[in-house]
Homo-oligomer: A and B are copies of this chain.
């Protein structure tokens, strides 16, 4: 989740990056007493997210700036809609503008793309989930945006769940002995709250994963027939995740095979920014 400590720390760093020793232009050209009212306006339709982060950009620049959101995270909007109103000292409003927009545009871009995937699988059993293919430093922000778009989150990091991939399994096989037993023994050293997910590339690996104690079996790059067969085979003994090459064109077919979870890297690594602008009215 997005704690206020995390928002403040990240936004403060972004403001520092964008104006390490102040905003030369505003300070030079604007009277200290000028006030501004500005509207965050959508230039295309989408799903909003990043409202709290947008607010923080202004509040951390100058606590006298007030931001009123007219959309909550997760709300949809049309081109032309006003999403927020910003009122305060003109220098601060203009200084914080770009950082506020950079966060809101990116986060809304992710929410909007997620919503398209979620909509594509509507009526099926499947969830759309994110991956660890997030922007360095912004994982919590991007996961929040995925949830605002109707998606769900996968594990946060390497530290909070196990995901045994082909590479990990290759080692254990090479070490000799029964793979499922080797896996089971090693996984037994984990805490009882640690979720275990095991990736399989072929259907004949599924029983090994199950007998090793997988809570989730991840079917990597399975075609639709194999997905359907795997769903029947697993039959409720574990959560089933489909992964690999998922696009807006293929996601519904995948969902209709009956899998529980579909992970989509593109949600965070290839969402384009939603076009938002800040229309400013300055009063001297």
Chain A residues close to B by CB (< 8 Å): 1-3, 5-6, 10-31, 34, 36, 60, 90, 94-95, 98-99, 101-103, 105-106, 109, 127, 129, 132-140, 152-165, 167-168, 170-172, 174-175, 183, 186-187, 189-195, 197, 215-216, 239, 241, 260-261, 266, 269-270, 272-273, 280, 282-284
CB of B192 within 8 A of CB of A241, answer yes
CB of A270 within 8 A of CB of B269, answer no
Instruction: Specify which chain B residues have a CB less than 8 angstroms from the CB of A22 in the assembled complex.
Output: 1-3, 158-159
Instruction: Specify which chain B residues have a CB less than 8 angstroms from the CB of A36 in the assembled complex.
Output: 167
CB of A21 within 8 A of CB of B159, answer yes
Distance in Å: Cβ of A4 to nearest Cβ of chain B: 8
* Given A22-B159, A157-B17, A183-B29 contact (CB < 8 Å): yes
* Given A21-B6, A135-B135, A260-B192, A28-B162 contact (CB < 8 Å): yes
Interface SS, A side: mixed
CB of A25 within 8 A of CB of B102, answer no
CB of B272 within 8 A of CB of A164, answer no
* Nearest 5 A/B pairs, CB to CB: A1-B22, A270-B272, A14-B136, A160-B160, A19-B158
Instruction: Specify which chain B residues have a CB less than 8 angstroms from the CB of A135 in the assembled complex.
Output: 102, 106, 135, 138
Report Cα–Cα, A283/B168, bound state, in Å. Answer: 11
Distance in Å: Cβ of A283 to nearest Cβ of chain B: 8
CB of B273 within 8 A of CB of A17, answer no
Distance in Å: Cβ of A164 to nearest Cβ of chain B: 6
* Given A132-B98, A137-B13, A170-B282, A192-B261 contact (CB < 8 Å): yes
* Given A136-B99, A139-B17, A167-B28 contact (CB < 8 Å): no
Partner of A17, one of B28, B29, B136, B194: B136
